[in-house]
């Protein structure tokens, strides 16, 4: 039913590598990590602890809905606790697929005038991209397969798996 895509060890090595790059690039800056719940939670926990620089954290809950495709709107269910004006914001994502969610979010957050706004994603599925958006930091480029584990879910299941696995199409289509 499931096939391992990346083991916990492989993920940890990649997360450390990303954190080292970000730590070096943001040296002396005011790094503020913004995470969209819930998928990126596990990645954020490991990534933020692997940073060698100080960072603050904030969280958002958004709903992506069909209308966002044309309007670039995103419905915010839980907004950030803190303003981001003049801050160096790094959006921490689990996976960029069509890119619509993150694109809409970037547009919304840019209106708040951060000093900078970049994207760090663990997984990138560029083959299904519907908008021109590229992560500034990316862990793994993966093919168009449905992945679960390490925070990612299928109907809220499998988030707590310590590794990443692909779910067979038959399983996804049963629901």
Q: Which residues are catalytic?
A: 97
Contact call for residue 135 and Mg ion (CB under 5 A): no
**Short-list 70, 20, 37, 45, CA closest to 162:** 45
Identify what 124 binds: Mg ion, ligand IMP, none; CB under 5 to 8 Å per kind. Answer: none
Contact call for residue 39 and Mg ion (CB under 5 A): yes
Contact call for residue 98 and ligand IMP (CB under 6 A): yes
Contact call for residue 95 and ligand IMP (CB under 6 A): yes
Residues 6+ apart with CB under 8 A from 122: 11, 14, 15, 18, 40, 43, 93, 94, 95, 138, 139, 140, 150
Least distance from C-beta 104 to ligand IMP, angstroms?
8
Residue pair 2/164 in contact (Cβ under 8 Å)? The answer is: no
Q: Give the interface size with ligand IMP as a residue count (CB under 6 A).
A: 15
Task: Say how far apart CA 97 and CA 109 lie, in whole Å.
Answer: 20
What x/- string results for residues 73 through 112 when contact with Mg ion is judged by CB under 5 A? ---------------------x------------------
For ligand IMP, the binding residue among 94, 105, 114, 119 (CB under 6 A) is 94
Alpha-helical runs (H) found in the chain: 8-25, 41-50, 68-71, 100-110, 169-174
38 prior amide bond cis, ω within 30: yes
Residues, the chain? 175
Least distance from C-beta 150 to Mg ion, angstroms?
12
Q: Which residues pair with 75 in a beta bridge?
A: 63
What x/- string results for residues 111 through 150 when contact with ligand IMP is judged by CB under 6 A? -----------------------------------xxx--
Q: What residue ranges bind Mg ion (CB under 5 A)?
A: 39, 94
Q: What residue ranges bind ligand IMP (CB under 6 A)?
A: 39, 64, 94-102, 146-148, 152
């Amino acid at each position: 039913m499931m096939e391992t895509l990346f083991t916990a060890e492989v993920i940890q090595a990649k997360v450390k590598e990303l954190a080292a790059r970000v730590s070096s690039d943001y040296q002396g800056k005011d790094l503020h990590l913004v995470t969209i719940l819930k998928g990126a939670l596990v990645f954020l926990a490991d990534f933020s602890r692997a940073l060698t620089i100080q960072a603050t954290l904030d969280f958002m809950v958004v709903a992506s809905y069909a209308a966002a495709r044309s309007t670039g709107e995103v419905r915010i269910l839980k907004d950030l606790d803190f303003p981001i004006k003049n801050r160096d914001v790094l959006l921490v994502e689990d996976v960029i697929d069509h890119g619509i969610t993150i694109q809409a979010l970037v547009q919304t957050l840019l209106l708040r005038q951060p000093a900078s706004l970049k994207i760090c994603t663990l997984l990138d599925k560029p083959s299904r991209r519907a908008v021109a958006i590229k992560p500034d930091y990316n862990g793994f480029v993966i093919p168009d397969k449905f992945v679960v584990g390490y925070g990612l879910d299928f109907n809220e299941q499998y988030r707590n798996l310590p590794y990443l696995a692909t779910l067979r199409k038959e399983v996804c289509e049963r629901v």
